[in-house]
Amino acid sequence: MTIQWFPGHMAKAKREVSEKLKFVDIVFELVDARLPFSSRNPMLDQIIQQKPRLILLNKADLADPAQTTKWIDYFTSQDNQVLALTAKNDKSVKQIVPAAKKVLSDKLDREKARGIKPRAIRAMVLGIPNVGKSTLLNHLAGKKIATTGNKPGVTKGQQWIRFGNQLELLDTPGILWPKFEDPDIGQKLALSGAIKDDLLHLDDLALAELEFLRRFYPDQLKERYGLSEDDLFQELPDLLIEIARKRGFKDDYDRASEMLINELRSGKLGRYTLDRFEELAK
């Protein structure tokens, strides 16, 4: 799945991020815990350069916990500070400020030694579309201050948001890179909802999903759709039709495809991680 998609507002956002980096202490890189490799923007290193960074693996409640542990260990071994969280969970979100202070400990110690009065940490939130930036902001504030939606492109501009006296956040639109050279990455991002569905062939995407689930999470697939072990050995198009029939869709291939993708994204198929540590972290 080769996808080229770089709307004008994303090019503008990239320029604005580069210009405003000088105003922040740290970058919060928000990543989908189900795609801890594929949902990291390869342009980000170039954009933020040496600015301190905290990697936030969001939607950890939807991800395979065993895989999340492996990815945390991996990122930590690469000298990154990383935190797995669920943006809607108070206990989870409250870990962000202490983690940020740990990343900035040398800077904060220098300022303290110079007698500089402590101030709120200024951070910039960066990530690809649909990783949960607006949900995180709303939960930190305890009210709706940013628009949310289970689709990319919801956040259109940049805004400073203050949270108590410890943190000021600059929200930014999700920024994708111009072209996905690796078709597998494009496919995974499409499954997660990071790419607008009208750019995709949903039936092809549903078949890719079935292939993935059959390989890594067969029990979850069988339980959700009442499938037998023998059902899983069918050709993928036949398996999709079988699921359609069990859901009362008869042979409605398109309806079954859309249902399958939506149920994966919403967590109804159980916890899963599309980026398998054993295959990608080499």
What pLDDT tens digit does each residue of the chain (282 aa) get?
A: 444 444 555 566 667 777 788 889 999 999 999 999 999 888 788 888 889 999 999 999 999 999 999 999 999 999 999 999 998 888 888 899 999 999 999 999 999 999 998 889 999 888 887 888 878 877 777 666 654 444 333 344 456 788 888 898 886 665 655 556 677 888 898 898 887 777 678 899 999 999 999 999 999 999 999 999 999 999 999 999 999 999 999 889 999 999 999 999 999 999 999 999 998 866
135 is in an annotated binding site: yes
Any binding-site annotation on 59?
Answer: yes
Q: Do 163 and 215 share a domain, yes or no?
A: no
What is the residue range of 80's domain? 8-171
Residue 71: which CATH number? 3.40.50.300
Q: Are residues 217 and 105 in the same domain?
A: no
pLDDT value at residue 132? 85
Alpha carbon 275 to its chain centroid, in Å, reads 11
**61 annotated as ligand-binding:** yes
Q: Are residues 263 and 153 in the same domain?
A: no
CATH of residue 267's domain is 1.10.1580.10
What pLDDT shows up at residue 45?
82
Residue 148 is predicted with a pLDDT of 44
Residue 150 sits in the same domain as residue 258: no
User: 132 among the known binding-site residues?
Assistant: yes
Same domain, 151 and 208: no
* Element of type H or E holding 168: strand 167-171
Separation CA 108–CA 101 (nearest Å): 8
- Give a yes or no: residue 241 inside a domain: yes
Q: Are residues 133 and 259 in the same domain?
A: no
Annotated binding residue 127: no
Q: Which of 125, 153, 171 is the last residue of a domain?
A: 171
Assess if residue 42 is contained within a domain. yes
Torsion of CA 28, 29, 33, 37, to 10 degrees: -160
Looking at the DSSP assignment, which residues form a beta bridge with residue 163?
167
The reply, when asked if residue 91 is annotated as ligand binding, is no
pLDDT of residue 93: 86
Regarding whether 44 and 167 lie in a shared domain, the answer is: yes
Q: For residue 258, tell me if it sits in a domain.
A: yes
Query: Is residue 188 a part of any domain in this protein?
Result: no
The answer to whether 60 is a known ligand-binding residue is yes
151, part of any domain: yes
The answer to whether the annotation marks 82 as part of a ligand binding site is: no
**Sign of torsion, CA 135 140 141 143?**
positive
Domain assignment present for 185: no
Does 159 share its domain with 88?
Answer: yes
Q: Is residue 134 a known part of a binding site?
A: yes
Domain identity same for 143 and 39: yes
Q: Report the candidate in 232, 205, 231, 202 with the shortest Cα–Cα distance to residue 216.
A: 232
Distance CA 157, CA 172 (A): 6
- Residue 70 included in any domain: yes
Q: What is the domain count for the chain?
A: 2
Helix, strand, or coil here: 194? coil
The domain boundary, picked from 171, 189, 214, lies at 171
- pTM of this structure: 0.86
Give yes or no: residues 17 and 76 share one domain.
yes
> Is 158 found in the same domain as 61?
yes
What local confidence, expressed as pLDDT, does residue 151 receive? 37
Same domain for 226 and 164 = no
Tell whether 39 is in a known binding site: no
Q: Is residue 140 part of a domain?
A: yes
Task: Please count the other Cβ atoms lying within 10 Å of the Cβ belonging to residue 249.
Answer: 15
